[in-house]
Chain A
Amino acid sequence: MTNKKVKVATVSLAGCFGCHMSFLDLDERLVELVEHVQFDRSPLTDIEHCSPDCDIGLIEGGVCNSENVHVLREFRKNCKTLVAVGACAINGGLPAMRNHISLEDCLNEAYRDGIGVENAQIPSDVELPLLLDKVHPIHEVVKIDYFLPGCPPSADVFWKFLTDLLAGHEPSLPYELVHFD
Protein backbone atom coordinates (compact mmCIF):
# COMPACT_ATOMS: atom_id res chain seq x y z
CA MET A 1 0.00 0.00 0.00
CA THR A 2 1.44 3.41 -0.97
CA ASN A 3 1.25 6.46 1.25
CA LYS A 4 -1.09 8.23 -1.12
CA LYS A 5 -4.61 8.03 0.25
CA VAL A 6 -7.33 6.44 -1.80
CA LYS A 7 -10.03 8.94 -2.77
CA VAL A 8 -13.56 7.77 -2.04
CA ALA A 9 -16.67 9.63 -3.15
CA THR A 10 -20.17 8.68 -2.04
CA VAL A 11 -23.71 9.77 -2.88
CA SER A 12 -27.29 8.83 -2.16
CA LEU A 13 -29.50 9.10 -5.26
CA ALA A 14 -33.03 7.66 -4.96
CA GLY A 15 -32.13 6.11 -1.62
CA CYS A 16 -33.00 6.70 2.01
CA PHE A 17 -29.44 7.31 3.30
CA GLY A 18 -29.79 3.98 5.11
CA CYS A 19 -26.72 2.65 3.30
CA HIS A 20 -24.76 5.71 4.41
CA MET A 21 -25.96 5.19 7.97
CA SER A 22 -24.85 1.57 7.73
CA PHE A 23 -21.47 2.76 6.44
CA LEU A 24 -21.16 4.92 9.56
CA ASP A 25 -21.80 1.76 11.60
CA LEU A 26 -18.14 1.04 10.88
CA ASP A 27 -17.77 3.07 14.10
CA GLU A 28 -14.16 2.97 15.38
CA ARG A 29 -13.08 1.22 12.20
CA LEU A 30 -13.67 4.56 10.47
CA VAL A 31 -10.58 5.85 12.28
CA GLU A 32 -8.51 3.09 10.75
CA LEU A 33 -10.18 3.61 7.38
CA VAL A 34 -9.36 7.32 7.15
CA GLU A 35 -5.67 6.47 7.55
CA HIS A 36 -5.90 5.00 4.06
CA VAL A 37 -8.88 6.84 2.61
CA GLN A 38 -9.69 10.45 1.87
CA PHE A 39 -13.34 11.32 1.32
CA ASP A 40 -14.10 13.39 -1.75
CA ARG A 41 -17.63 14.34 -2.82
CA SER A 42 -19.93 12.89 -0.18
CA PRO A 43 -22.71 13.86 2.22
CA LEU A 44 -20.02 13.24 4.85
CA THR A 45 -17.83 16.08 3.54
CA ASP A 46 -20.32 18.37 1.80
CA ILE A 47 -17.96 18.64 -1.19
CA GLU A 48 -20.24 19.42 -4.11
CA HIS A 49 -18.47 17.82 -7.07
CA CYS A 50 -16.16 14.89 -7.62
CA SER A 51 -12.44 15.50 -8.09
CA PRO A 52 -11.36 14.13 -11.46
CA ASP A 53 -9.12 11.51 -9.81
CA CYS A 54 -11.44 9.68 -7.44
CA ASP A 55 -10.56 6.03 -6.95
CA ILE A 56 -13.80 4.61 -5.60
CA GLY A 57 -17.37 5.88 -5.98
CA LEU A 58 -20.05 4.40 -3.73
CA ILE A 59 -23.56 4.93 -5.11
CA GLU A 60 -26.60 4.43 -2.91
CA GLY A 61 -30.06 4.43 -4.49
CA GLY A 62 -31.40 4.09 -8.01
CA VAL A 63 -32.18 6.91 -10.42
CA CYS A 64 -35.63 8.49 -10.16
CA ASN A 65 -35.05 11.96 -11.65
CA SER A 66 -32.87 13.89 -14.10
CA GLU A 67 -30.51 15.12 -11.39
CA ASN A 68 -29.81 11.52 -10.31
CA VAL A 69 -28.76 10.74 -13.88
CA HIS A 70 -26.41 13.76 -14.05
CA VAL A 71 -24.83 12.92 -10.69
CA LEU A 72 -24.42 9.27 -11.59
CA ARG A 73 -22.69 10.22 -14.85
CA GLU A 74 -20.41 12.63 -12.96
CA PHE A 75 -19.41 9.79 -10.65
CA ARG A 76 -18.76 7.43 -13.53
CA LYS A 77 -16.62 10.05 -15.27
CA ASN A 78 -14.51 10.77 -12.19
CA CYS A 79 -14.26 7.46 -10.33
CA LYS A 80 -12.02 4.62 -11.44
CA THR A 81 -14.16 2.05 -9.66
CA LEU A 82 -17.90 2.53 -9.31
CA VAL A 83 -19.86 0.50 -6.79
CA ALA A 84 -23.63 -0.01 -6.55
CA VAL A 85 -24.41 -0.03 -2.84
CA GLY A 86 -27.64 -1.56 -1.58
CA ALA A 87 -30.87 -2.92 -3.01
CA CYS A 88 -32.09 0.37 -4.53
CA ALA A 89 -28.92 0.94 -6.55
CA ILE A 90 -29.01 -2.69 -7.70
CA ASN A 91 -32.68 -3.13 -8.66
CA GLY A 92 -34.41 0.17 -7.94
CA GLY A 93 -35.61 -1.09 -4.58
CA LEU A 94 -38.49 0.46 -2.71
CA PRO A 95 -38.72 3.60 -4.92
CA ALA A 96 -39.07 1.33 -7.97
CA MET A 97 -42.27 -0.06 -6.52
CA ARG A 98 -43.90 3.03 -8.04
CA ASN A 99 -42.97 1.73 -11.48
CA HIS A 100 -46.28 -0.01 -12.07
CA ILE A 101 -48.17 3.18 -11.27
CA SER A 102 -48.21 5.98 -13.84
CA LEU A 103 -46.26 9.10 -12.93
CA GLU A 104 -49.42 11.18 -13.25
CA ASP A 105 -51.23 8.97 -10.73
CA CYS A 106 -48.24 9.12 -8.36
CA LEU A 107 -48.12 12.93 -8.47
CA ASN A 108 -51.88 13.26 -8.12
CA GLU A 109 -51.94 10.95 -5.14
CA ALA A 110 -49.09 12.77 -3.40
CA TYR A 111 -49.86 16.40 -4.22
CA ARG A 112 -53.51 16.70 -5.23
CA ASP A 113 -55.79 13.91 -4.06
CA GLY A 114 -53.93 12.75 -0.94
CA ILE A 115 -55.67 12.98 2.41
CA GLY A 116 -55.00 16.29 4.17
CA VAL A 117 -53.45 18.06 1.17
CA GLU A 118 -54.16 21.80 1.18
CA ASN A 119 -53.62 24.21 -1.74
CA ALA A 120 -53.20 21.17 -3.93
CA GLN A 121 -50.77 21.68 -6.81
CA ILE A 122 -48.13 19.62 -8.59
CA PRO A 123 -44.67 21.10 -7.80
CA SER A 124 -43.27 22.65 -10.97
CA ASP A 125 -40.49 25.00 -9.88
CA VAL A 126 -37.75 25.15 -12.53
CA GLU A 127 -35.21 24.36 -9.83
CA LEU A 128 -36.75 20.95 -9.26
CA PRO A 129 -35.33 18.05 -11.27
CA LEU A 130 -37.87 16.32 -13.49
CA LEU A 131 -39.00 12.88 -12.40
CA LEU A 132 -38.28 9.94 -14.67
CA ASP A 133 -41.31 7.91 -15.66
CA LYS A 134 -39.73 4.89 -13.95
CA VAL A 135 -37.10 4.39 -11.27
CA HIS A 136 -34.11 2.53 -12.69
CA PRO A 137 -31.22 0.58 -11.17
CA ILE A 138 -27.94 2.38 -11.83
CA HIS A 139 -26.46 -0.39 -13.99
CA GLU A 140 -29.05 0.52 -16.63
CA VAL A 141 -27.43 3.98 -16.94
CA VAL A 142 -23.67 3.53 -16.48
CA LYS A 143 -21.19 0.68 -16.23
CA ILE A 144 -20.91 -0.57 -12.64
CA ASP A 145 -17.84 -2.43 -11.43
CA TYR A 146 -19.05 -3.96 -8.15
CA PHE A 147 -22.33 -4.57 -6.36
CA LEU A 148 -22.86 -4.68 -2.60
CA PRO A 149 -26.31 -6.16 -2.00
CA GLY A 150 -28.35 -5.62 1.15
CA CYS A 151 -30.98 -3.31 2.57
CA PRO A 152 -28.69 -1.96 3.77
CA PRO A 153 -25.39 -3.79 3.33
CA SER A 154 -23.99 -4.17 6.85
CA ALA A 155 -20.93 -2.26 8.01
CA ASP A 156 -19.05 -5.56 7.76
CA VAL A 157 -19.84 -5.64 4.03
CA PHE A 158 -18.32 -2.18 3.53
CA TRP A 159 -15.34 -3.14 5.65
CA LYS A 160 -14.65 -6.41 3.83
CA PHE A 161 -15.10 -4.80 0.42
CA LEU A 162 -12.97 -1.73 1.09
CA THR A 163 -10.19 -3.56 2.92
CA ASP A 164 -10.02 -6.10 0.08
CA LEU A 165 -9.73 -3.28 -2.47
CA LEU A 166 -7.19 -1.35 -0.37
CA ALA A 167 -5.09 -4.49 -0.02
CA GLY A 168 -5.18 -4.94 -3.78
CA HIS A 169 -7.34 -8.08 -3.68
CA GLU A 170 -10.31 -8.81 -5.86
CA PRO A 171 -13.11 -8.14 -3.34
CA SER A 172 -15.14 -11.16 -2.29
CA LEU A 173 -17.90 -11.45 0.27
CA PRO A 174 -18.40 -14.59 2.36
CA TYR A 175 -21.89 -16.20 2.37
CA GLU A 176 -22.91 -14.57 5.66
CA LEU A 177 -22.37 -11.09 4.22
CA VAL A 178 -24.44 -11.55 1.07
CA HIS A 179 -28.08 -10.66 1.70
CA PHE A 180 -30.67 -9.19 -0.64
CA ASP A 181 -32.79 -8.11 2.33
Chain B
Amino acid sequence: MSKTIVIDGKVIPFEDGQTIIQAATAAGVYIPHLCHNPKFTPHGSCKLCTVKVNGRNCSACTFPASEGQNITNISEELNDDREKITQMLFVEGNHFCPSCEKTGNCNLQAVAYHLGMTDNHFPHFFENREVDASHPDVMIDHNRCIFCTLCVRASQQEDGKNVFAISGRGIEKRLVVNSPSGLLRDSDLDVNDCAAHICPTGAILIKRTGYNVPIGQRIFDHAHIDTVALAAEGASHDE
Protein backbone atom coordinates (compact mmCIF):
# COMPACT_ATOMS: atom_id res chain seq x y z
CA MET B 1 0.00 0.00 0.00
CA SER B 2 1.61 3.23 -1.12
CA LYS B 3 1.64 6.36 0.96
CA THR B 4 -0.98 9.00 0.13
CA ILE B 5 -1.85 12.64 0.56
CA VAL B 6 -5.24 14.23 -0.03
CA ILE B 7 -5.61 17.22 -2.35
CA ASP B 8 -9.08 18.81 -2.56
CA GLY B 9 -10.59 15.53 -1.39
CA LYS B 10 -8.73 13.41 -3.95
CA VAL B 11 -6.42 10.68 -2.62
CA ILE B 12 -3.01 10.93 -4.29
CA PRO B 13 -0.08 8.51 -3.91
CA PHE B 14 3.42 9.80 -3.32
CA GLU B 15 6.92 8.44 -2.84
CA ASP B 16 9.28 9.57 -0.13
CA GLY B 17 11.31 12.55 -1.28
CA GLN B 18 8.57 13.94 -3.55
CA THR B 19 7.29 17.44 -3.05
CA ILE B 20 3.57 18.11 -3.00
CA ILE B 21 3.65 19.56 -6.52
CA GLN B 22 5.54 16.52 -7.85
CA ALA B 23 2.99 14.12 -6.40
CA ALA B 24 0.13 16.30 -7.65
CA THR B 25 1.50 16.60 -11.18
CA ALA B 26 2.12 12.86 -11.42
CA ALA B 27 -1.53 12.33 -10.43
CA GLY B 28 -2.80 14.85 -12.99
CA VAL B 29 -3.59 17.61 -10.49
CA TYR B 30 -2.49 21.07 -11.60
CA ILE B 31 -1.18 23.50 -9.00
CA PRO B 32 -0.56 26.99 -10.50
CA HIS B 33 3.13 27.91 -10.62
CA LEU B 34 5.67 30.04 -12.46
CA CYS B 35 9.12 29.51 -10.90
CA HIS B 36 8.74 25.74 -10.63
CA ASN B 37 10.07 23.44 -13.32
CA PRO B 38 10.42 19.75 -12.47
CA LYS B 39 13.85 19.60 -14.16
CA PHE B 40 15.47 21.97 -11.68
CA THR B 41 15.94 22.44 -7.96
CA PRO B 42 12.82 24.12 -6.58
CA HIS B 43 13.15 27.81 -5.81
CA GLY B 44 9.92 28.55 -3.95
CA SER B 45 9.89 32.23 -4.84
CA CYS B 46 6.81 32.98 -6.92
CA LYS B 47 4.40 31.67 -4.25
CA LEU B 48 1.72 30.93 -6.83
CA CYS B 49 1.79 27.27 -5.82
CA THR B 50 0.84 28.14 -2.25
CA VAL B 51 -1.56 25.50 -0.94
CA LYS B 52 -3.07 24.94 2.50
CA VAL B 53 -1.51 21.92 4.18
CA ASN B 54 -3.51 20.95 7.24
CA GLY B 55 -4.62 24.58 7.49
CA ARG B 56 -1.20 26.20 6.98
CA ASN B 57 0.03 27.93 3.82
CA CYS B 58 2.99 26.14 2.19
CA SER B 59 4.72 26.33 -1.19
CA ALA B 60 3.80 23.10 -2.93
CA CYS B 61 7.03 23.16 -4.97
CA THR B 62 9.29 23.00 -1.91
CA PHE B 63 7.15 21.29 0.73
CA PRO B 64 7.72 17.53 0.99
CA ALA B 65 4.68 15.31 0.69
CA SER B 66 4.09 13.25 3.80
CA GLU B 67 1.45 10.92 5.17
CA GLY B 68 -1.57 12.59 6.73
CA GLN B 69 -1.49 15.80 4.72
CA ASN B 70 -4.91 17.21 3.93
CA ILE B 71 -4.26 19.80 1.25
CA THR B 72 -6.44 22.52 -0.23
CA ASN B 73 -5.30 23.58 -3.70
CA ILE B 74 -8.37 25.18 -5.22
CA SER B 75 -10.31 27.59 -3.05
CA GLU B 76 -11.59 31.11 -3.52
CA GLU B 77 -9.12 32.39 -0.96
CA LEU B 78 -6.06 30.70 -2.49
CA ASN B 79 -7.00 31.67 -6.04
CA ASP B 80 -7.65 35.27 -4.95
CA ASP B 81 -4.17 35.34 -3.42
CA ARG B 82 -2.73 33.85 -6.61
CA GLU B 83 -4.50 36.47 -8.69
CA LYS B 84 -3.14 39.27 -6.50
CA ILE B 85 0.39 37.85 -6.76
CA THR B 86 0.07 37.69 -10.54
CA GLN B 87 -1.26 41.25 -10.66
CA MET B 88 1.73 42.39 -8.59
CA LEU B 89 4.06 40.73 -11.09
CA PHE B 90 2.30 42.58 -13.90
CA VAL B 91 2.57 46.02 -12.27
CA GLU B 92 6.15 45.54 -11.05
CA GLY B 93 7.47 44.93 -14.55
CA ASN B 94 6.33 46.39 -17.85
CA HIS B 95 4.15 43.70 -19.37
CA PHE B 96 2.56 45.05 -22.53
CA CYS B 97 1.24 41.86 -24.09
CA PRO B 98 0.17 43.33 -27.46
CA SER B 99 3.74 44.41 -28.19
CA CYS B 100 5.47 41.31 -26.78
CA GLU B 101 6.47 38.55 -29.17
CA LYS B 102 5.96 35.94 -26.43
CA THR B 103 2.24 36.66 -26.21
CA GLY B 104 0.18 33.48 -26.45
CA ASN B 105 3.20 31.38 -25.45
CA CYS B 106 3.74 33.18 -22.14
CA ASN B 107 3.25 31.33 -18.86
CA LEU B 108 2.71 34.55 -16.91
CA GLN B 109 -0.10 35.53 -19.25
CA ALA B 110 -1.53 32.00 -19.23
CA VAL B 111 -1.55 31.84 -15.43
CA ALA B 112 -3.40 35.17 -15.45
CA TYR B 113 -5.95 33.72 -17.87
CA HIS B 114 -6.26 30.62 -15.69
CA LEU B 115 -6.98 32.74 -12.63
CA GLY B 116 -9.58 34.84 -14.46
CA MET B 117 -7.49 37.98 -14.10
CA THR B 118 -8.76 40.79 -16.33
CA ASP B 119 -7.05 43.81 -14.76
CA ASN B 120 -3.88 44.68 -12.87
CA HIS B 121 -5.65 46.16 -9.83
CA PHE B 122 -2.57 47.87 -8.38
CA PRO B 123 -0.92 51.14 -9.50
CA HIS B 124 1.77 50.46 -12.08
CA PHE B 125 5.44 51.04 -11.28
CA PHE B 126 6.34 51.93 -14.89
CA GLU B 127 9.97 51.42 -14.00
CA ASN B 128 12.72 52.05 -16.46
CA ARG B 129 14.35 48.72 -17.25
CA GLU B 130 16.97 47.97 -19.86
CA VAL B 131 16.98 45.81 -22.96
CA ASP B 132 20.16 43.87 -23.74
CA ALA B 133 20.20 43.06 -27.46
CA SER B 134 23.99 42.69 -27.65
CA HIS B 135 24.07 38.92 -28.20
CA PRO B 136 23.82 37.86 -31.86
CA ASP B 137 21.06 35.29 -31.23
CA VAL B 138 19.46 35.97 -27.84
CA MET B 139 18.05 39.12 -26.26
CA ILE B 140 17.00 40.07 -22.76
CA ASP B 141 14.14 42.47 -22.15
CA HIS B 142 14.42 43.19 -18.43
CA ASN B 143 10.97 44.83 -18.52
CA ARG B 144 9.46 41.35 -18.51
CA CYS B 145 11.67 39.55 -15.99
CA ILE B 146 9.79 38.16 -12.98
CA PHE B 147 12.93 36.90 -11.16
CA CYS B 148 11.83 33.26 -11.25
CA THR B 149 15.53 32.24 -11.62
CA LEU B 150 14.68 29.51 -14.14
CA CYS B 151 17.43 30.82 -16.45
CA VAL B 152 19.86 30.91 -13.51
CA ARG B 153 19.09 27.32 -12.60
CA ALA B 154 18.98 26.06 -16.19
CA SER B 155 22.37 27.57 -16.92
CA GLN B 156 23.95 26.00 -13.85
CA GLN B 157 22.16 22.67 -13.70
CA GLU B 158 21.49 21.85 -17.36
CA ASP B 159 24.07 23.78 -19.39
CA GLY B 160 26.95 23.43 -16.94
CA LYS B 161 27.56 27.17 -17.17
CA ASN B 162 26.86 30.09 -14.90
CA VAL B 163 25.53 32.79 -17.19
CA PHE B 164 22.79 34.33 -15.06
CA ALA B 165 22.28 35.44 -11.46
CA ILE B 166 19.92 37.59 -9.46
CA SER B 167 21.64 40.60 -7.95
CA GLY B 168 20.29 42.95 -5.29
CA ARG B 169 17.47 42.41 -2.83
CA GLY B 170 13.77 43.17 -2.61
CA ILE B 171 12.58 45.79 -5.03
CA GLU B 172 16.19 46.42 -6.12
CA LYS B 173 16.76 42.92 -7.42
CA ARG B 174 17.73 42.44 -11.05
CA LEU B 175 18.72 39.69 -13.39
CA VAL B 176 22.43 40.08 -14.13
CA VAL B 177 24.70 38.46 -16.69
CA ASN B 178 28.00 36.89 -15.73
CA SER B 179 30.37 38.65 -18.12
CA PRO B 180 33.04 41.34 -17.70
CA SER B 181 30.84 43.96 -19.39
CA GLY B 182 27.58 42.68 -17.94
CA LEU B 183 26.36 42.23 -21.50
CA LEU B 184 25.00 38.99 -22.88
CA ARG B 185 27.31 39.21 -25.90
CA ASP B 186 30.37 38.78 -23.66
CA SER B 187 28.94 35.80 -21.75
CA ASP B 188 29.31 32.19 -22.88
CA LEU B 189 25.57 31.80 -23.51
CA ASP B 190 24.83 29.82 -26.66
CA VAL B 191 21.54 29.99 -28.52
CA ASN B 192 21.09 26.24 -27.99
CA ASP B 193 21.48 26.48 -24.20
CA CYS B 194 18.51 25.44 -22.11
CA ALA B 195 18.81 28.78 -20.29
CA ALA B 196 18.08 30.64 -23.51
CA HIS B 197 14.75 28.82 -23.93
CA ILE B 198 13.45 28.37 -20.37
CA CYS B 199 12.06 31.87 -19.68
CA PRO B 200 8.35 31.62 -18.75
CA THR B 201 7.76 35.22 -19.92
CA GLY B 202 9.13 37.29 -22.79
CA ALA B 203 12.27 38.37 -20.90
CA ILE B 204 14.71 36.07 -22.72
CA LEU B 205 13.92 35.69 -26.39
CA ILE B 206 15.56 33.99 -29.35
CA LYS B 207 16.08 36.54 -32.08
CA ARG B 208 14.42 36.18 -35.49
CA THR B 209 11.93 33.56 -34.29
CA GLY B 210 9.30 35.72 -32.56
CA TYR B 211 6.58 35.49 -35.16
CA ASN B 212 7.30 32.06 -36.67
CA VAL B 213 3.98 31.02 -35.17
CA PRO B 214 1.29 33.64 -35.77
CA ILE B 215 -0.74 35.09 -32.92
CA GLY B 216 -3.94 33.11 -32.67
CA GLN B 217 -2.18 29.76 -33.22
CA ARG B 218 -0.02 29.84 -30.11
CA ILE B 219 0.04 27.46 -27.16
CA PHE B 220 -2.33 29.28 -24.83
CA ASP B 221 -4.57 30.83 -27.48
CA HIS B 222 -6.78 27.77 -27.23
CA ALA B 223 -5.31 25.47 -24.55
CA HIS B 224 -5.44 26.13 -20.81
CA ILE B 225 -2.19 26.20 -18.89
CA ASP B 226 -3.31 23.38 -16.57
CA THR B 227 -3.59 20.95 -19.50
CA VAL B 228 -0.39 22.18 -21.11
CA ALA B 229 1.64 22.06 -17.88
CA LEU B 230 0.40 18.61 -16.89
CA ALA B 231 1.19 17.22 -20.34
CA ALA B 232 4.71 18.68 -20.30
CA GLU B 233 5.64 18.20 -16.66
CA GLY B 234 3.78 15.00 -15.90
CA ALA B 235 5.95 13.33 -18.53
CA SER B 236 9.21 14.54 -17.04
CA HIS B 237 8.21 13.24 -13.59
CA ASP B 238 7.77 9.77 -15.00
CA GLU B 239 11.32 9.62 -16.27
Q: Report the minimal beta-carbon distance from A93 to chain B, rounded to whole angstroms.
A: 7
Q: Are A149 and B222 in contact (CB under 8 A)?
A: no
- Give the contacting residue for A180; candidates B98, B126, B224; CB below 8 A: B98
Taking the closest CB of chain A, its distance from the CB of B123, in whole angstroms, is: 5
Interface residues on A, range: 20 to 34
**How many whole Å from B50's CB to the nearest CB in chain A?**
23
Complex contact B124–A140 (CB within 8 A): yes
Which B residues are in CB contact (< 8 Å) with A99?
A: 126
Question: Contact between A149 and B118 (Cβ–Cβ < 8 Å)?
Answer: yes
Residue on B nearest A151 in the bound complex, by CB: B98
Q: In chain B, what residue has the closest Cβ to A138?
A: B119
Do A148 and B124 touch across chains, with their CB atoms under 8 A apart? no
Is A127 in the interface zone, CB < 8 Å from B?
no
The chain A residue sitting closest to B222, CB to CB, is: A176
B96 partner, pick from A93, A139, A144, A147, beta carbons under 8 A: A93
Which residues of chain B are within 8 angstroms of A90 by Cβ–Cβ distance? Answer: 118-120
A176-B222, A178-B113, A180-B109 known; A144-B97 Cβ under 8 A: no
Tell me the total A-B contact number using a CB cutoff of 8 A. 68
Q: Does B205 contact A (CB under 8 A)?
A: no
Q: How far is the CB of A154 from chain B (nearest CB, A)?
A: 11
Question: Is B215 close to A, CB under 8 A?
Answer: yes
| A175-B220 Cα distance, complex, nearest whole Å | 10
Measured CA separation A181–B221 after assembly (Å)? 10
A91 to B109, alpha carbons, bound, how many Å?
14
Residue of B with least CB distance to A87 = B98
Note all chain B residues with C-beta closer than 8 A to A97.
94, 96, 99
B112 at the interface (CB under 8 A from A): yes
* CB atoms of A100 and B128 under 8 A apart: yes
- Tell me, yes or no, whether B90 is within 8 Å of chain A by CB: yes
- Docked pose: A180 CA to B215 CA in angstroms: 11
Residues of B111-170 whose CB lies within 8 A of A = 112-113, 116, 118-121, 123-124, 126-129
Q: Does B47 contact A (CB under 8 A)?
A: no
- Which residue of the partner chain, among A100, A136, A144, A173, contacts B119 with CB atoms under 8 Å? A144
Does B103 interact with chain A (Cβ within 8 Å)?
yes
Contact partners of B215 in chain A: CB under 8 A: 181
A93 with B118: CB separation less than 8 A:
no
**Interchain CB contact under 8 A, A87 and B119:** no
Contacting pair B98 A94 (CB below 8 A): yes
> What is the CA–CA distance of A90 and B121 in the complex, to the nearest angstrom?
9
Given the known inter-chain contacts A178-B118, A181-B97, A181-B215, please indicate yes or no for A100 contacting B224, CB distance below 8 A: no
User: Could you tell me the distance in whole angstroms from the C-beta of A49 to the nearest C-beta in chain B?
Assistant: 27
CB distance from A120 to the nearest CB of B (A): 26
* A73 nearest CB across to chain B (Å): 17
Q: When the two chains form their complex, are residues A93 and B124 in contact, meaning their CB atoms are under 8 A apart?
A: no
Mark interface residues in A146-175 (1 if CB within 8 Å of B CB, else 0).
111101000000000000000000000101
Q: Does B104 contact A (CB under 8 A)?
A: yes
Out of B99, B109, B118, B123, which one reaches A147, CB within 8 Å? Answer: B118
Distance between B172 CB and nearest chain A CB, rounded to angstroms: 17
- Of the listed residues B109, B126, B215, the one surrounded by the most CB atoms of chain A closer than 10 A to its CB is B126
Contacting pair B222 A151 (CB below 8 A)? no
| CB neighbours of B123 from chain A (8 A) | 140
Residues of chain A contacted by B52 (CB below 8 angstroms): none
A134: chain B residues within 8 A (beta carbon): 126
- From A90, A134, A144, A181, name the one whose CB has the most chain B CB atoms within 10 angstroms: A181
Cα–Cα distance between A166 and B94 once the two chains are bound (Å): 35
- In order of increasing CB-CB distance, the 5 nearest A-B pairs are A180-B97, A151-B98, A100-B128, A147-B119, A99-B126
* Further pairs besides A87-B96, A180-B103: 6, Cβ < 8 Å: A93-B98, A137-B120, A139-B119, A149-B119, A180-B97, A181-B104
Q: Pick 8 A–B contacts, CB within 8 A, sort by A.
A: A87-B96, A99-B126, A100-B129, A137-B124, A151-B97, A178-B113, A180-B97, A181-B97
